Amino acid sequence: MSSISENSKRKILNVGCGEDTYGTHFVDLYPTRKEVIKCNVDKEKLPFPNNYFDQVVAKFIFEHLTSHRHFLKEVYRVLKKNGKLILMTDNASFWGLFGMTHYGKYEKEREKEKIYEDRHYALFTPNHLRNWLRLFGFRKIKIEYTFYDKYAKKTHIPLIKILSKIIPRMSPHIKVIAIK
């Protein structure tokens, strides 16, 4: 992404940042460091003024939300005109994810780890994502299948990478770039 010097010129909000340090402002339901503002983006307003950010980044949070309307309305509100949204989410067409969610393996693993609030509530295809973003006024929507190593099981990475190159729609993740 961008270097720190470029980040200081632009205001970049990282929503659901976890440990990620890319950006100038950070919000998460479970802050992991002092500069992260606690915010439930599923229900609460983002704690920033209108038209404030040049870019909003949301990696692997969209599928965990129950109120996509609220989230997109807030992201659109805080983005400046011509601001950029970068959204990454799981790909509903990915065979591995389908198997885990369809047969409940994902939920069972979460329960075993005593993680009850972190759930997948929806999965998306590129068309779903395009429809959501158009609904809120985003334009110049670019969608690509991608593979984000951080969120893949290490034992399956070589096989998944090969399959993703042969059949891109079978990639585990989708990346969207959209302009306000």
H or E segment and range at residue 4: helix 4-9
In tens, the pLDDT along 117-166 reads 667 788 899 999 999 999 999 999 999 988 766 555 555 556 666 666 66
- Angle formed by the axes of helices 68-78 and 126-135, nearest 10°: 60
Structural domain count of the chain: 1
DSSP-assigned beta bridge partners for residue 57? 14, 86
In tens, the pLDDT along 46-56 reads 999 999 999 99
CA torsion sign, 123 to 127 to 132 to 133?
positive
Distance CA 149, CA 152 (A): 5
Domain with residue 114: its CATH number is 3.40.50.150
Domain of residue 173, residue span: 4-179
